[in-house]
Structure 1
Amino acid sequence: MENTKKGISRARFLAGAGAAAVGVAGALLPATGARAAEATTGRRGLRHRGVVYTVGAGETPGTAFSAARMRRDIRVIRDDLHADTVDVTGDGVERLNATATEAAERGLHVWLQPTLGDAPERDILDHIAQTGRHAEGLRRQGASVDFSVGCEFWLFVPGIVPGETILERIENLQNGTVDWVRMQRRLDRFTAKAAAVGRSVFHGRLSYAAAQDDKVDWNLFDVVGIDYYSSHADSADYVRELKRYLRWGKPLAITEFGTCTYVGAPEAGGMGWDIVDYDKTPPEIKGDLVRSERTQADYLVELLDVFESMGLYTAMAFEFVTADAPHRPDSPRHDIDLASYSITKAIKDRPDDPRSDWHWEPKEAFHALARRYRRC
């Protein structure tokens, strides 16, 4: 999806923004017993392991969507990252469907999730319908496909939270200038509409990606989907936190998990991206942060251990590449990749030219995931 805040992709407003909305839902579900995970999945170990691949128009001509680049990336996800699943997300029906087709043809399990934002409700529902029809076509041809009707609707869909743009809605949530009861009613209404559209065009497993504290009627879906950005010193706390989502007796998908590339990023959770001063030209990293690819890699592996131990349905690391957050090894103060959740680092051939071509290189997180995925 196109970036939503001056160079930071949906990376973003996630758990941090979701925390601002905690007054809506409070605790989503009570914790359940240790046998809940086994009863829900019937197995130990993740069923699917993958990565989020975001498509969008790009912020600059140099980072615009490229079908050729996408095809190369999908091959890398399968052959080098050793993932068996790719979460194709973002906006643009043609981009989404082309990427889903490529992933399916490469033998990957496809989690297709349109996330059109800041558009009229009818356009968002039509966007869901068009991508859902394509997902159904792939499924009927024998591909392994799950379809998610979207992500964190309170953030992306106008009219649920006051504000014309995502940034305005975030500000209103943080300021508390929201009628929580009315917001929940609107969220429930749109979620039900989206689920109905998804059911009408797609006949496989249906899901939705919610923020951790969202209140969702999971009876509408076959798979519970959670964007998960917690940080705990004790892995048992992750297990206790995640067990509450198993109460519905349905498979649990971790639709996003990850962290940024600096010391202390896991503790910042879904707000880890908020370290860039965009009032500066060029934008600068705020404070004296220490780049640490090891911090990111260790966090991802720790979370995978938890998900595997619980036998969850799927876990998809966020994300494969963030083209609009380039790495500047020559200028740490301008190394915007620190604010990226990407497991690769985007490097521009000409750092100061928005039309510059670019390439990515793997971070330690890429290699750590590749080792784990290959063993599985």
Structure 2
Amino acid sequence: MENTNKGISRARFLAGVAAVGAAGVLLPVSGARATDRSRGLRHRGVVYTVGAGETPGTAFSTARMRADLKAIRDGLHADTVEVTGDGVERLKSTATEAAERGLRVWLQPTLGDAPERDILDHIAETGRHAEALRRQGAGVDFSVGCEFWLFVPGIVPGDNVMERIENLLSGNVDWEKMQRRLDRFTARAAAVGRSVFRGRLSYAAAQDDEVDWSLFDIVGIDYYSAHPNPSDHVRELRRYLRWGKPLAITEFGTCAYLGAPEAGGMGWNIIDHDKTPPEIKGDLVRSERTQADYLVGLVDVFESMGLYAAMAFEFVTPDAPHRPDSPRHDLDLASYSITKAIKDRPDDPRSDWHWEPKEAYHALARRYRCPQGQSQ
């Protein structure tokens, strides 16, 4: 999620996931088995975040969204887009546009740091729209949210995401109580999703989360592991198939510098925010090839396992602009985006911007256009 209603960035979210893990034409709906090796990866996609943006220059734009979805379909050759973030109208308009362009929609509302009732209402209203699209014949899967223990107040102590992460890292958590609270809210969210949506229901969990997957039709996992051999990924992912349900990789990705894959979800943590403007820490070497190789390698793994879907994280991160003229201020190094945002006026928060493809974009486009390892 690029932003929640209080401006929590996706980078901070990823930091929490990694840290806690270290500590402990419209398309028809179609069925899928847990694995189907004859078909390879069933749906190939990318995450598209619809948050409000952290600056006036990166605010949500309907015109930009439409152009981005066209690029996702025609340039990236994805057949699926994960529409995520907060703001029901942004979610609805983006999901509708994606469906009208013939893309399959994985719709996932992610309102955070709000009262439980508001989060559940946000899920319900978004789910009703997913159901409306499904009834019109669109291919839609609905996820009730992402890693609730980080975003939903009251599960882990803390008034916001960062405070909850600090409490988890310090051990200031009653783990059994946290799991009971997480289970309770997850069940409530699933019930709300079922009440408004009649298609396949899912949830995006962290790799080590304990989830009652009997509540859902599709197992959803945010996956950020780095292994030297593909067989290690296969072995790790197989445990998510034990429920006999389709497996969707709701996020996978890395940053574009040497060593980023090994940093996993902490790959973003390379910025010194005490500096004005913020600076990249250390002497990192930009490597778009590193990011591209990691993504394509994982797609090969997902293809070999016949998974249901995989969505690369993420299409664009406008609040982490690329500065080719100033490597020390190249915040794109901390981005998991497959494109690089470039501002017309780098020092002006109101500046317009555009994106340009990274090597990962081109590599994924080739891979998505040529599924199951076929030669072009």
In 1, the alpha carbon distance for the partners of 2:283 and 2:169 equals 26
The alpha-carbon deviation at position 40 of structure 1 amounts to 2.6
Is 1:275 the equivalent of 2:287?
A: no
Amino acid at match of 2:193: G
Match of 2:310 in 1: 315
Query: Aligned runs of 1:141-152 on 2, under 5 Å?
Result: 141-152=136-147
TM-score by length of 1: 0.94
Cα deviation code 1:291-342 (max 9, x no counterpart)? 1100000000110110000000000000000000000000000000000000
Give the RMSD, CA atoms, in angstroms.
Answer: 1.8
Any unmatched runs of 5+ in structure 1?
27-37
In 1, the alpha carbon distance for the partners of 2:199 and 2:165 equals 33
Task: Indicate if the aligned counterparts of 1:93 and 1:130 stay in contact, CA closer than 8 A.
Answer: yes
- The verdict on how the C-alpha distance between 1:7 and 1:112 changes in structure 2, with shifts beyond 3 A counting, is closer
Is 1:337 the equivalent of 2:355?
A: no
Cα deviation code 1:193-235 (max 9, x no counterpart)? 0000000000000000000000000000000000000000111
State the SS of the aligned residue for 2:159: coil
Query: Aligned runs of 1:87-106 on 2, under 5 Å?
Result: 87-106=82-101
Match of 1:3 in 2: 3
Is 1:157 the equivalent of 2:152?
A: yes
Amino acid at match of 1:357: D
Is 1:187 the equivalent of 2:182?
A: yes
- The verdict on how the C-alpha distance between 1:39 and 1:223 changes in structure 2, with shifts beyond 3 A counting, is closer
In 1, the alpha carbon distance for the partners of 2:18 and 2:177 equals 17
- 1:304 is aligned, of 286, 292, 299, to 299
Amino acid at match of 1:215: E
Task: Indicate if the aligned counterparts of 2:76 and 2:365 stay in contact, CA closer than 8 A.
Answer: yes
- 2:217 is aligned, of 188, 205, 222, to 222
Match of 2:80 in 1: 85
In 2, the alpha carbon distance for the partners of 1:335 and 1:155 equals 28
Is 1:41 the equivalent of 2:19?
A: no
Amino acid at match of 1:258: G
- The verdict on how the C-alpha distance between 1:186 and 1:87 changes in structure 2, with shifts beyond 3 A counting, is same
Match of 1:205 in 2: 200
The alpha-carbon deviation at position 42 of structure 1 amounts to 3.1
The ranges of structure 1 where at least 4 consecutive aligned residues each deviate by more than 2 angstroms after the TM superposition are: 1-4, 6-9, 11-19, 38-44
Is 1:256 the equivalent of 2:251?
A: yes
In 1, the alpha carbon distance for the partners of 2:273 and 2:360 equals 26
TM-score by length of 2: 0.94
Amino acid at match of 1:282: P
The alpha-carbon deviation at position 145 of structure 1 amounts to 0.1
Amino acid at match of 2:91: L
Query: Aligned runs of 1:54-133 on 2, under 5 Å?
Result: 54-133=49-128
In 2, the alpha carbon distance for the partners of 1:175 and 1:285 equals 26
Match of 1:346 in 2: 341
Match of 2:171 in 1: 176
The alpha-carbon deviation at position 15 of structure 1 amounts to 7.1
Task: Indicate if the aligned counterparts of 2:16 and 2:165 stay in contact, CA closer than 8 A.
Answer: no
Amino acid at match of 1:9: S
The alpha-carbon deviation at position 175 of structure 1 amounts to 1.1
- Tell me the matched-pair count: 363
Task: Indicate if the aligned counterparts of 1:54 and 1:89 stay in contact, CA closer than 8 A.
Answer: yes
Task: Indicate if the aligned counterparts of 2:3 and 2:86 stay in contact, CA closer than 8 A.
Answer: no
The alpha-carbon deviation at position 14 of structure 1 amounts to 2.9
Task: Indicate if the aligned counterparts of 1:7 and 1:325 stay in contact, CA closer than 8 A.
Answer: no
The alpha-carbon deviation at position 2 of structure 1 amounts to 4.7
Share of identical aligned residues, percent? Answer: 84
State the SS of the aligned residue for 1:210: strand
Task: Indicate if the aligned counterparts of 1:53 and 1:87 stay in contact, CA closer than 8 A.
Answer: yes
In 1, the alpha carbon distance for the partners of 2:156 and 2:85 equals 21
